Chain A
Amino acid sequence: SAVISQKPSRDICQRGTSLTIQCQVDSQVTMMFWYRQQPGQSLTLIATANQGSEATYESGFVIDKFPISRPNLTFSTLTVSNMSPEDSSIYLCSVEASPGSPLHFGNGTRLTVT
């Protein structure tokens, strides 16, 4: 199974600033995703990170707010831009080895925006 390193593990940020979260996988994977879990809510897919092209965003998420990079098949970044307290969440990257197979997750980034 894929080993995923995600950093930072946690951060406390000021309103209006941006934070970039990194996700490194120990093997090449086609499908890489970014999820968010706001307090009391379910894990929600933000976007699918596509290698070599723009990410595919889910309804309610836009590139200006959550720019994503995917320069190769083992690495991706998610930036949370112009943060507000509502962005306080756990952010998780995940990969799927093959269609329909269980997701493998990073340890998550616990973000608090003050």
Chain B
Amino acid sequence: ILNVEQSPQSLHVQEGDSTNFTCSFPSSNFYALHWYRWETAKSPEALFVMTLNGDEKKKGRISATLNTKEGYSYLYIKGSQPEDSATYLCALLNPPRGNQFYFGTGTSLTVIP
């Protein structure tokens, strides 16, 4: 089992604040890292697929970076809005186990209006 850790576990920010959280993973045999957003009563939705060291991906106000050598990825949200409130999950793809994804426990973000 690969240990994927996310921090913080939960976060409350004011509307308009920018925030970021971390996904840490074993740096050996890296293949890909996915970020998902999971809103209450909905299905998890893919945000980014990160594959190369130094990758930076952006979708609107949300962006992510990847450092495979040290084993971490950051997710940034600029100017948080209430609709950003969700649990953000990262998942490490481990090809030797076929399509096995190892998920972190998630960061629960609440944006206070």
B101 A4 Cβ-Cβ under 8 A: no
Instruction: Check if B28 is an interface residue, CB within 8 A of chain A.
Output: no
Contacts of A101 in B (CB 8 A): 49
Q: Which residue of A41, A43, A44, A107 is within 8 Å of B41 (Cβ)?
A: A107
Q: Which residue of A31, A42, A103 is within 8 Å of B104 (Cβ)?
A: A42
Task: Please count how many residues in chain A sit with their CB below 8 Å of the partner chain's CB atoms.
Answer: 24
A107 B42 Cβ-Cβ under 8 A: yes
Task: Please count how many residues in chain B sit with their CB below 8 Å of the partner chain's CB atoms.
Answer: 25
Instruction: Check if A40 is an interface residue, CB within 8 A of chain B.
Output: yes
Nearest B residue (CB) for A3: B43
B100 A103 Cβ-Cβ under 8 A: no
Instruction: Report how far A80 CA is from B44 CA in the complex, Å.
Output: 22
Contacts A33-B99, A100-B32 given; does A40 touch B43 at CB 8 Å: no
B71-113 interface mask toward A, CB cutoff 8 Å, 1 = contact, 0 = none?
0000000000000000001010100001111111110000000
- For chain A residues 76-104, which have a beta carbon within 8 Å of chain B? 92, 96, 99-104
Chain B CB count within 10 A is highest, among A100, A107, A108, for A100
B41 A42 Cβ-Cβ under 8 A: no
A43 B89 Cβ-Cβ under 8 A: yes
- List 6 additional contacts besides A100-B31, A100-B49, A103-B44; criterion CB under 8 Å: A42-B4, A42-B105, A48-B99, A104-B46, A107-B41, A107-B43
